[in-house]
Amino acid sequence: MVNAVERITHLISEAEMDSAEYERRIAARFASFDQDGNGYIDREDFSGAAKAVLAEFGTTARCDKGQALYAGAEAFWQGMAGIADVDGDQRVTREEFVTGAVKRLRDSPQRFAEIARPFLKAAIAVADEDGKGATPKGTERVLKVLGADPQTAAAAAAALDTDGDGRISEEEILTAFAAYFTTPAPDA
């Protein structure tokens, strides 16, 4: 009987740790979208992210790359709102993010990639300073501007170059982005 109680206690403890880790990851993912830290995700978070990326690379909003990034940010916001803004108030709360976006995107990572594609493609184009494709260094700069700490940004940018060609392709970043945001929930 004692062994059974110990085993159950151990399993509960593991589940709590898994649940706590999952919650921590989801909170981090939510925070990465909530650029202004006001507790919800809205259109301004997406346009603010675009503005910050453009400023980092000295790219104007009126040029083709700038217009593409703002259009991508709007498309990304519309996609996110479409799957997560349950009450239609043009804001995605953390609860809506967890119950809407995370669950739906986990079930269909390709849907997430399609929602994110215009923004990510445009961000890669802005980070492409020599016309040959975004480098890990350029991608690192984008990640830092979007809120990643310097160490994480450097490691993530290097890892994105999965084929080792020194450039980050649209498919490499889409795959990684979808994987990051479609964290599986712990087994209950």
Q: What is the pLDDT of residues 30-67, one digit of tens each?
A: 888 898 999 999 999 999 999 999 999 999 999 999 99
Residue, of 68 and 111, whose pLDDT is higher: 68
Contacts of the segment 81-85: beta carbons below 8 A, 24+ positions apart? 81/43, 83/111, 83/115, 84/41
Query: In 10 A of CB 71, how many CB atoms?
Result: 14
Q: What does residue 134 show for φ and ψ, rounded to 5 degrees?
A: -70, 135
Per-residue confidence at 174, pLDDT binned at 50, 70, 90? confident
- In angstroms, the CA 171 to CA 83 distance is 23
Q: Is the Cβ–Cβ distance between 32 and 52 less than 8 Å?
A: no
Nearest to 121 by CA among 167, 169, 178: 169
- In angstroms, the CA 127 to CA 140 distance is 9
Residue, of 185 and 100, whose pLDDT is higher: 100
The mean per-residue pLDDT over the stretch 162-185 comes to 79
- In angstroms, the CA 154 to CA 159 distance is 9
- Spell out the residues 6+ positions from residue 182 whose beta carbon is closer than 8 angstroms to its own: 102, 105, 106, 109, 112
3-state secondary structure of 38: coil
pLDDT at 4: 43
Q: Is the Cβ–Cβ distance between 101 and 80 less than 8 Å?
A: yes
- In angstroms, the CA 160 to CA 173 distance is 6
Residue 2 has pLDDT above 50, yes or no: no
Contacts of the segment 162-167: beta carbons below 8 A, 24+ positions apart? 166/135, 166/136, 167/132, 167/133, 167/134, 167/135
Q: Measured in whole angstroms, how far is the alpha carbon of residue 27 from the centre of its chain?
A: 12
